[in-house]
Amino acid sequence: MNNNDNNDYSPYKDITVDRAVAEILRESQGRLSTAFDRALAMKCCPIGSGISGICCKNCSMGPCRVREDTVGLCGATLGTITARNLARQIAAGAAAHSDHGRDLAHLLGLAAEGKAPGIEIKDELKLMKFARNLGIEIKDRDVKEIALEASEKALSLFGQQHGEIDLIKIAPPARQEIWRKNNVIPRGVDREIVEIMHRTHAGVDQEPENILSQAVRCALADGWGGSMIATEITDILFNTPEALRAKTNLGMLREDEVNIVIHGHEPTLSEIIVEYSSDNELVEYAKSKGAKGINIVGICCTANEILMRQGIAPIGNFLSQEAAIMTGAIELMVVDIQCIMQALGRLTQNYHTKLVTTSPKCKIPGAIHMEFRDVNGPELAKEIIKMAIDNFSERKGEIHIPDVSSDLVAGFSHEYIRYMLGGRFRESLRPLNDAIIDGRIQGVVGVVGCNNARHCQDKYHNFVARELIKRDYLVVQTGCSAISTAKYGLMVPEALEYAGEGLRSICETVGIPPILHMGSCVDNSRILTVLSDVVEEGGLGDDISDLPVAGIAPEWMSEKALSIGTYVAASGVYTAFSGEPIPVESSPEVKKIMTEGWQKKYGGQLEYIMDIEELLNKVINVIQEKRKALKIDMKKERVLLDMEARRALKDV
Amino acid sequence: MSKIIATGAIKGAYKTVERAEKVLKECIEKHGREQKVEFPNTGYYLPVIYSMTGIEVEKLSDCEGVLNEAKKLLPPVPEEKVWLPYLGGTLDAGIATLWSEEVIEAIKYIDGPPPADGIWLGAATDVILRERGIEFVDGTAPGFAACVGACKDSKTAVRIARELQEKNIYVFMSGSTNGISMAEQLAEEGVELGWDTRLVPFGKDISATVYALGFAARAALSFGGVQPGDYKKMLLYNKNRVFAFVLALGEVDDEKYANAAGAINFGFPTIADTDIPEILPRGICTYEHVVSNIPDEEIVAKAIEVRGLKITVEKVDIPVAFGPAFEGERVRKEDTYVEFGGNRSEAIEFLHCADSSEVEDGKIEVFGPEVDDIEEGGVLPLGIEVLVYGRKMQEDFEPVMERQIHYFINYATGIFHMGQRDTIWVRFSKEAVKSGFKIRHLGTILHAKMHSSFGNIMDKIQVKIYTNVEDVVRLKKEAKKVFRIRDERLKNLTDESVDTFYSCTLCQSFAPNHVCVVSPERPGLCGAYNWLDCKASFEINPTGPNQPVKKGETMDERLGIWKGVNEFVYKASNQTLESFSAYSMIVDPMTSCGCFEVIVAILPSTNGVMAVNREYPGMTPSGMKFSTMAGMVGGGIQTPGFIGISKFFICSRKFIRADGGLARLVWMPSMLKEEIRDLLEERSRELGLGDDFLDKIATEKEAETEEQVLEWVQKVNHPVLEMEPIM
């Protein structure tokens, strides 16, 4: 079911295409300030955004405002300052993902030692694979022992001072060679971040290309290091996702149940809360308080984590967080880290809704802090649920839950994709490669990234996704972008009707939607693994840069997106951002390095294209060029084998 | 749309698993869980299960375990709306179906109805697997068609069967449509069924389809060196190397969909004559997975295209169907119009070189009566003289090519040929004569086939056929002189008398890393190619599978090590084998693909060796059955103490000469002993082992264990007792 086709709530239709959010905004009639209102009230700083010159505040001689024809007090040029600022943003993005990964690595060790109540090793096979990738001996060792060593090894990887981190070996050999040649194979992400901070300090690295090479190295440490560790360990502890059915949007809130929203990015406490939400005692307690039950839903990437593994409904993405509170139906919103608007603190004051922060890294004025310390999962989860139940009777004023929801299918992990294409005995990516070679699938495009209040919510995501599937490009998604198309019914298998003939035939054969949900934003590392696997499967070149694939972040907002965009580009993928500009727009020098320069070095680039249709055309052109280079742009005669040809077969 | 197929296949899988559970439960109630269960005369247990899981199903209780695993494979039936991906689950359901069907069929061997009954053959034994498997390996048979159901009428069934036969494709038949099966339709039309004609009725039950897949699974284990339990390799081996497909004839129900899903795991697509949904994208199969609504007259051609197969069928201008598939057809006495030879009349066939001026290409003459001149049931003398001229022709090749006369003539439907030289026996069926087949057509066949097979060395071919007694007797006299010379030459053809051996990589389509070295005294281990065959083959196709190997400097005469051979083997084995000895099974023995006829293994306590042929299904004194040993010997690895060889090589002077030769032989199955008795006697006399040496070799009648063999050799005072320790 999908009833989110048509948002005609003027004037909100320019703010969001999501009818549920528009309905809430209309109800509120501007009584309460939201990010949408603030975006209208406050323009963004043109210097900060890099459209018109750039601002350097790395020393107290400044801030210096520098344009093409001026320099800072120290003589820093536009290009240098632009590169330095970008590098620092990438460092911040990489730090966010990787610190998340570090916490999971730590948790893996605690789980192995039995010191993290409520957490256990659920996917042993994946643990073995992960351990092997870290160069750990498996043999017939005890699972816990392997897990402990994997945890230690993963933790040490963050601070690795020399050499190459192990996980880059997942990349095709040709790709590793390119990185090696350009001296960007990362050491530990901590070291790479520190080095960025050092190099961008006043009076250190002043050559834009050199600064950006370090930014690439740092981003790779995120994608093939910190983020990948986060994904892998999340799978180990909470199971590798498999396809499942769910529903999305604000319509999944329940008027007669205790509504608890989980928001942020970490899977840990949220998984435990989901588990306890069906605890009999708590459910009975909820009933004693007049509620029919406990309804757990999510927002942002914590939502994606528990969607992928438990089928919990994501009620919205980044820009839905305020609207969710404004339904008046939420007893409690529990948040961990990243993308949590400070505005929630004030907004919840207008409702009975309790805002609970749980990470020592993230406290918010106006919120109740109940710290998750790895060892207190079950008690804390119960306490939080109980607090929500107790709050049920405190609802004030009118409840407004928009009757808007859509079905979706999620759970497309790398492992599941292999399974769904061949079953238990023939699992592989062969059918995907063959479909690409045959042109049934023209290419694969990752449509990822955030919402941005300066742009109509979800509009670009849906535009590019729809246009791509129509033209036989398989779309894979993560993060807020994934929720953005799910909300409009594009992630159900029935959506194959929007796909071109070729893609539709694959959707029919496999039983998949034309758009695959691959997880949270940290799970972009899954896409790297799949791309490496596609190369290994054969028939589409020797390196990721040969593949007819691209990445798009059409409504990007966070520094994490800049880190992702950079590691994807440096992994050999053409990557385009739209919506707000990448803060390098005023420096042709830096733009050139990131486009032509990186293209030459890494076979991929990061480019900002404001016009979304132009971006779409560019992506399609790039992919078609790759198809041409692979000589799969034209239909080929089928190869018929006689005995002599069979004798010449070398494999199997 | 695929979802319909997925839904049908998954439902069919549930039904099949349920059915298997039911028959198993009943069987256990009757016989207990310890009841033995097996397919007859095979070392591969229930082969699909064995190849995929490594589970050796021997008792009913083993079946319980298998069915539990099968149940775990069953996915939910796809929902009507917001369905989850179904392809993976459907393929798993197909495998669950096949495992269940093997259990169902195996239980039939206990409680009936018997799988081999009337026209139905049930499971193929290992003997058949070897005989027929070799044809798949060397390309004589490019693949098989698993025909499930029945055609719209019996005439169509015959047409499809003939078309497949003409393309040399095996026809495996199972299942039924509206109570009728294709095999029954063929039988109704009087078509000869069986392994010999490549028209194989496995069973009328849909579950008999699993025999076809079991055959494929065994081919991978037997010829491909795939280890039991290595399911991925087994399935991919079949996808890449066994060119099979399913013809779904008539209505397709859930159980048939489930079988199709099982077959797709092997890379075998389904081609249907009814309007079922299609699955066109590729990936599990090489091309389309399911293609439907194909008219009967196009279905064979379509199937071959979908499977990615290239078959070139040469047309021979005779009035009956022609192709290797018809080779095994017999002509019964009551169906015979005319016969030749077979001790009822003088007969001979003889191929020899002649000067260019003496040979007129394409000239075919019949001297004496034609079929029109005689009554039905008549007998005529027959002399077939084939004169060939070619600049690259050598006298050595004459017997190689003469031997082909048997095959070529047999390829014609309704024509039967047996024996060679002056022992031939030929029959024309009434049907063939009615179709217009004449004696002169024998010449047409030989001219066409000799040209197409040996065109590289033969420039001109002329055939003279005699059907009057005087000419036949004259020809016989001439020919016998030549035969004697040929035999003499062959006898003197030793490893020492030549400077070149030949490699054989004919079976690399199935066993990619193995190479045979064929010498005059050591034929290929499959028994099908000797040194002369290889030599001729090289002349015919200089870049083909038989390449000359210069012996070079002799490094060890006793062991049979030559520098040139070593260098060749080193290169051909991808630098894995540095040294090879032709005459030892202990020091760097030759590797094996999987096609060997016989395995020789040391029985250490007896100081001797045993030889076991593939056809022998029982336990050997080594404690292993042939199939288990085959797994150790095959795959291109040197396994000291074990070798795979041809039957003939046991009688060769060079048989494990360095290890003591024939005198070491202490055990062999009686069937093998009888088969090569004459040659064995000749060789043991020559070696001075005594007239009673053969009696001193134990068979399964005298000894089943190594201890019993030891007791036996001591009892009969076998020469091995006097020999120095073998190891």
User: Per-residue pLDDT averaged across A285-297, rounded?
Assistant: 97
With an 8 Å Cβ cutoff, is A493 touching chain B? yes
Measure the CA–CA gap between A333 and A261, rounded to whole angstroms.
Answer: 5
- Position B491 in a domain: no
Helix (H) or strand (E) holding B501: strand B500-504
Confidence band for A387, pLDDT divided at 50, 70 and 90:
very high
Q: Per 3-state DSSP, what percentage of chain A is helix, strand, and coil (rounded to 5)?
A: 50, 10, 40
Q: Determine contact: A538 vs chain B, CB below 8 A.
A: no
B215 and B96 within one domain: yes
User: What residue type is B656 in one-letter code?
Assistant: I
In a domain, A31, yes or no: no
Q: Kindly determine whether residue A424 and residue B88, on different chains, have CB atoms separated by under 8 Å.
A: yes
A286 lies in the same domain as A167: no
Residues A582 and A454 grouped into a single domain: yes
Q: Does an H or E element contain A381, and which?
A: helix A377-392
Looking at the fold, whether A220 and A134 belong to one and the same domain comes out as yes
Q: What are phi and psi of A333, to 5 degrees?
A: -115, 120
Residue B628 has what pLDDT?
Answer: 79
pLDDT tens, A395-440?
988 899 999 999 999 999 999 999 999 999 999 999 999 999 999 9
**In this model, does residue A253 exceed pLDDT 90?**
yes
Minimum-distance CB partner of B87 among A245, A421, A433: A421
Is the domain of A61 the same as that of A104? yes
**B245 and B338 in a common domain:** no
Report helix, strand or coil for B478. Answer: helix
Model confidence at A9: pLDDT above 80: no
Residues B332, B289 share a domain? no
Give the residue with greater pLDDT, B602 vs A6: B602
CB–CB of A649 and B312 under 8 A? Answer: no
Confidence of residue A7 (pLDDT cuts 50, 70, 90): low
Do A642 and B310 make contact, defined as CB atoms within 8 angstroms? yes
Q: Is residue A10 part of a domain?
A: no
Q: Residue A581: pLDDT above 80?
A: yes
Where does the pLDDT of residue B635 fall: very low under 50, low under 70, confident under 90, or very high at 90 and above? Answer: low
ipTM above 0.90, yes or no: yes
pLDDT at A79: 96
Instruction: Give the residue from B460, B484, B508 where a domain finishes.
Output: B484
Q: Are residues A478 and A618 in the same domain?
A: yes
Closest to B412 measured CA to CA, from B320, B328, B333, B332: B320
Q: Which chain B residues contact residue A405 at CB under 8 A? A: none
Count of domains forming chain A: 3
Residue type, position A607, single letter: E
Do A261 and A233 belong together in one domain? no
Residue B244 lies in a domain: yes
List the single residue in A432, A511, A643 with the smallest CB-CB distance to B139.
A643
| Residue A647 belongs to a domain | no
Is the previous residue joined to B113 through a cis bond, with omega within 30 degrees of 0?
yes
Half-sphere exposure for B338 (CA within 13 Å, toward CB): 20
A238, A264, A288: which is the final residue of a domain?
Answer: A238
One-letter identity of residue A363:
K
Q: Is residue A527 part of a domain?
A: yes
- Do A377 and A312 share a structural domain? yes
Residue B28: CB partners within 8 Å, gap ≥ 6?
A: B35, B60, B61, B64
User: Looking up tokens 């549930």, which residue turns up?
Assistant: B14
Q: For the purposes of burial, counting CB atoms within 10 Å of the CB of B642, is it exposed (0-12), middle (13-18) or buried (19 or more)?
A: buried
**CB of A566 closer than 8 Å to CB of A578:** no
Q: Which residues of chain A make contact with B289, given a CB cutoff of 8 A?
A: 509
Looking at B329-475, which runs of residues are DSSP E strands?
A: 336-341, 347-353, 364-367, 378-380, 382-389, 415-418, 425-429, 460-466
What integer best gives the mean pLDDT of chain A?
95
What does the pLDDT average to over B227-240? 93
User: Could you give the CA distance from residue A450 to residue B82 in angstroms, rounded to a whole number?
Assistant: 26
Which of B89, B241, B282 faces A649 most closely, judged by CB atoms?
Answer: B241
Residue B436 in tokens: 């217009």
Same domain, B277 and B195: yes
Residues A379 and A430 in one domain: no
> A322-331, B230-239, B330-339: lowest mean pLDDT where?
B330-339
Question: Would residue B446 count as lying in a domain?
Answer: yes
Q: Write the CATH number for B545.
A: 3.40.1470.10
Contacts with B88 from chain A: Cβ below 8 Å: 419-424, 427
Least confident of B298-302, B580-584, B634-638: B634-638
Cβ(A486)–Cβ(A314) under 8 Å?
Answer: yes
Residue B425: other Cβ atoms inside 10 A: 17
Predicted confidence at residue B452, as pLDDT, reads 84
Last residue of some domain: B307, B333, B364?
B307
* Per-window interface: A 540-579 vs B, CB < 8 A: none
- In chain B, the percentage of residues whose pLDDT exceeds 90 is 57
Return all residues near A565 (Cβ < 8 A) that are at least 6 apart. Answer: A551, A553, A556, A575, A577, A582, A606
User: What's the angle, vertex CA A604, arms to CA A603 and CA A609, rounded to 5?
Assistant: 145
User: Could you give the CA distance from residue A9 to residue A23 in angstroms, rounded to a whole number?
Assistant: 7
Task: State the DSSP H helix or E strand holding residue A468, giving kind and residue range, or none if neither.
Answer: helix A459-470
- Which of B215, B173, B23 shows the shortest CA–CA distance to B113? B23
Same domain? For B271 and B399 the reply is no
Mean pLDDT, residues B578-583 taken together:
85
Contact, B431 vs B335, CB < 8 A?
Answer: yes
Please give the angle made by the CA atoms of A54, A59 and A60, to the nearest 5 degrees: 105
- B-chain residues near A513 (CB < 8 A): none
pLDDT single digits (tens) A93-123: 999 999 999 999 999 999 999 999 999 999 9
Report d(CA A482, CA A488) in Å as an integer: 11
Q: How far apart are CA A145 and CA A165, in angstroms?
A: 22
User: Tell me, what's the pLDDT at A363?
Assistant: 97
Mutate to test the interface with A, among B3, B52, B79, B91 (most CBs of A within 10 A): B91
Q: What average pLDDT score do residues B648-654 get?
A: 89
Nearest residue to A605 via CA among A567, A556, A637: A567
Measuring CA to CA, which residue among A520, A416, A415 is closest to residue A478? A520
- On whether residue B176 sits in a domain, the answer given is yes
Contact A420/B240, CB-based, under 8 Å?
A: no
pLDDT exceeds cutoff 70 at B462:
yes
Do residues A565 and A552 lie in contact, with contact meaning Cβ atoms separated by under 8 Å? no
B53 assigned to some structural domain: yes
Q: Return the pLDDT at B402.
A: 86
Q: Give yes or no: residues B467 and B507 share one domain.
A: no
Asked, for residue A645, whether it belongs to a domain, the answer is no
Q: Cα(first)–Cα(last) distance of chain A, in Å?
A: 46
Region of poorest pLDDT, from A262-271, B14-23, B335-344: B335-344
pLDDT of residue A650: 66
Domain membership flag for residue A352: yes
| Average pLDDT of the residues in A512-534 | 96
Residue B587 structural domain: 500-722
Residue A212 within a domain = yes
Q: Residue A163: which CATH number?
A: 1.20.1270.30
- How far is it, in rounded angstroms, from Cα A552 to Cα A607? 10
Alpha-carbon span A479 to A448, nearest angstrom: 6
Specify the CATH number for the domain of residue A542. 3.40.50.2030
| Count of domains for chain B | 3
Does one domain contain both B520 and B609? yes
Q: Within this chain, do residues B669 and B718 fall inside the same structural domain, yes or no?
A: yes
Indicate the Cα dihedral angle A408, A413, A415, A418, nearest 10°. 50
Q: Over range B605-615, report the average pLDDT.
A: 91
CB contact under 8 A, B281 and A494: no
Query: Same structural domain for residues B477 and B506?
Result: no
The domain of A483 spans 426-629
Look at B505 and A647 and tell me if their CB atoms are within 8 Å. yes
Residues B472 and B585 grouped into a single domain: no
| Residues A621 and A490 occupy one common structural domain | yes
B290 and B334 belong to one structural domain: no
The answer to whether position B301 is within a domain reads: yes
Residue B574 pLDDT exceeds 70: no
Res. B507 pLDDT band, cuts 50 70 90: low
Residue B384 pLDDT exceeds 90: yes
pLDDT band of residue B534 (cuts 50, 70, 90) is confident
Chain-chain contact of A652 with B233 (C-beta, under 8 angstroms): yes
* Residues making up chain B, counted from first to last: 727
Do the domain assignments include residue A76? yes
Distance from CA of A235 to the nearest CA of B (A): 20
pLDDT at site B509: 61
- d(CA B533, CA B89) in angstroms, rounded, equals 49
CB B585 within 8 A of CB B602: yes
pLDDT value at residue A196: 98
Residue A212: CA atoms inside 13 Å, Cβ hemisphere, count?
Answer: 27
pLDDT given at position B512: 63
CB A464 within 8 A of CB A447: yes
CA distance B283 to chain A (A): 4
- Kindly identify which residue of chain A lies nearest to residue B279, measuring between CA atoms: A509
Q: pLDDT of B56-93, one tens digit each? A: 999 999 999 999 999 999 999 999 999 999 999 999 99
Asked if A216 and A102 sit in the same domain, the reply is yes
Last residue of a domain, which of B282, B307, B332? Answer: B307
Name which of A426, A509, A647 is nearest B509 (Cβ-Cβ): A647
What pLDDT does residue A291 have? 96
- Residue B248: which CATH number? 3.40.50.2030
Position B342 scores a pLDDT of 81
Q: How many residues does chain A have?
A: 652
User: What pLDDT band is residue B511 in, cutting at 50, 70 and 90?
Assistant: low
Residues of chain A with Cβ-Cβ distance to B243 below 8 Å are 641, 646
Q: In this structure, are A154 and A75 located in the same domain?
A: yes
- Residue B587: pLDDT band with limits 50, 70, 90: confident
Domain assignment present for residue B344? The answer is yes
Confidence of residue A651 (pLDDT cuts 50, 70, 90): low
Q: Residue B592 and residue B573: Cα distance in Å, rounded?
A: 12
Q: A646 vs B87: CB contact, 8 Å cut-off?
A: no
* Chain B residue at shortest CA distance from A441: B281
Provide mean pLDDT across the span B534-560: 85
Based on the fold, state whether residues B294 and B399 are members of the same structural domain: no
A155 and A293 co-located in one domain: no
Domain contains B319: no
Query: Rounded CA gap, B550 and B564, in Å?
Result: 5
For B192, counting Cβ atoms within 10 Å of its Cβ (0-12 exposed, 13-18 middle, 19+ buried), the class is middle
Q: What percent of chain B has pLDDT above 70?
A: 98
- The residue to which tokens 């066939």 are assigned: B349
pLDDT at A543 over 80: yes
Range B362-384 burial, b when 16+ CB lie within 10 A, else e? eebebebeebeeeeeeeebbbbb
User: How does pLDDT run across A134-173, given as a tens digit for each residue?
Assistant: 999 988 899 999 999 999 999 999 999 999 999 999 999 9
Q: What is the DSSP letter of A579?
A: S
Tally Cβ neighbours within 10 Å of residue A278. Answer: 11
